[in-house]
Amino acid sequence: MAMKIRLARGGSKKRPFYRIVAADSRMPRDGRFVEKLGTYNPLLAKDSEERVKMNVERIQYWIDQGAQPTDRISRMLEAAGIIAKKDRNNPEKAVPGKKATERAEEKAAKAASAAEAAASAE
What mean pLDDT do residues 30-55 have? 91
Beta strands in 1-122 (DSSP E): 3-12, 15-24, 35-40, 52-54, 68-69
Smallest Cα–Cα separation from 31: which of 39, 45, 17, 21? 21
pLDDT of residue 6: 93
pLDDT of residue 43: 93
Residues of the chain with pLDDT > 70, as a percent, come to: 98
Model pLDDT, residue 122:
64
- Tell me the pTM: 0.69
Mean pLDDT of 53-77: 92
Name the more confident of 93 and 50: 50
How far apart CA 24 and CA 33 sit, in angstroms, is: 7
pLDDT at 55: 92
CA 12 distance to own-chain centroid:
22
Quote the CA–CA distance of 57 and 63 in Å, as a whole number: 10
Contact indicator for 58, 37 with CB cutoff of 8 Å:
yes
Place domain 3-80 in its CATH homologous superfamily.
Ribosomal protein S16 (3.30.1320.10)
As a whole number, mean pLDDT of residues 46-66 equals 91
Question: Residues 6 or more apart from 82 whose CB is under 8 A from it?
Answer: 54, 56, 59, 60
Q: In this prediction, what percent of the chain has a pLDDT beyond 90?
A: 53
pLDDT at 67: 92
